Amino acid sequence: MPSSSSLIRWSVAFAAGSALLTVGTLPAAAAPASDAQGFIDSTARCAAPSTAVAYGRTDSSRVAVCKSPDGQYQYRGVRVRDGARLITEATAEGDGEFVAENDAATYTVTAEALTITIGDDVVREETMLEFHGPAAPAAPAAPTTPAAPTTTTPTKPLGPPLPAEVGGSGS
């Protein structure tokens, strides 16, 4: 029969191991809230009367591509770590790809990734964790009936970075 000091040491070791296991299984952070216009309380959101044609998130960014009633596209992106925002014109390149330019940088949004390039050099490629919008079609799509009009949520003019856009983890 083991001594009482052996049982105490074993109990302490077991409790410590259990505590480490519990810490290692903490749930991941919840995904940001979104609706048909993009991410709620975020720069990556389309304001009425524009509509979101695509929006998504990566580990370190949130983006939305908006289309105005006159057919113009707008890129709305935010870097989560520090709330840095970019709002600029965009173009639809086909096959679900959208491109925006700011100074020397080009931002390409697809269902797979947000890719940032300068010239021919890829500065960063961020894998999409969540994406809503067109994807490159595998085959020609069959004709569909038009979707019913949607109700949009009003948004406020841009101010400082929103609480949901500041701080997070990532690089």
Asked whether residue 143 is domain-assigned, the answer is no
Pairing relationship of beta strands 121-127 and 85-94 according to DSSP bridges: unpaired
For residue 121, being part of any structural domain is answered with yes
Could you tell me if residue 130 is inside a domain? yes
Q: What is the pLDDT of residue 3?
A: 53
pTM of the model as a whole: 0.64
Please check whether residue 108 lies inside any domain of the structure: yes
Q: Is residue 19 part of a domain?
A: no
Domain region containing 42:
34-135
Examine residue 170 and state whether it is found in any structural domain, yes or no.
Answer: no
Q: Is residue 128 part of a domain?
A: yes
Q: Produce one character per residue of 43-65: b if its CB has 16 or more CB atoms within 10 Å, e if not.
A: bbbbbeebbbbbbbbbebbbbbb
Q: How many domains does the chain have?
A: 1
CA pair distance 101, 98, nearest whole angstrom:
10
Counting every residue, how long is the chain?
171
167 found inside a domain: no
Q: How far apart are CA 32 and CA 104, in angstroms?
A: 30
pLDDT in tens, the chain (171 residues): 555 554 444 443 434 443 333 333 334 456 788 888 989 889 999 999 999 999 999 999 999 999 999 999 999 999 999 999 999 999 999 889 999 999 999 999 999 999 999 999 999 999 999 999 987 444 444 444 444 443 333 444 444 455 455 554 444
Percent helix / strand / coil, the chain, rounded to 5: 15, 40, 50
Q: Given this model, what pLDDT does residue 54 score?
A: 95
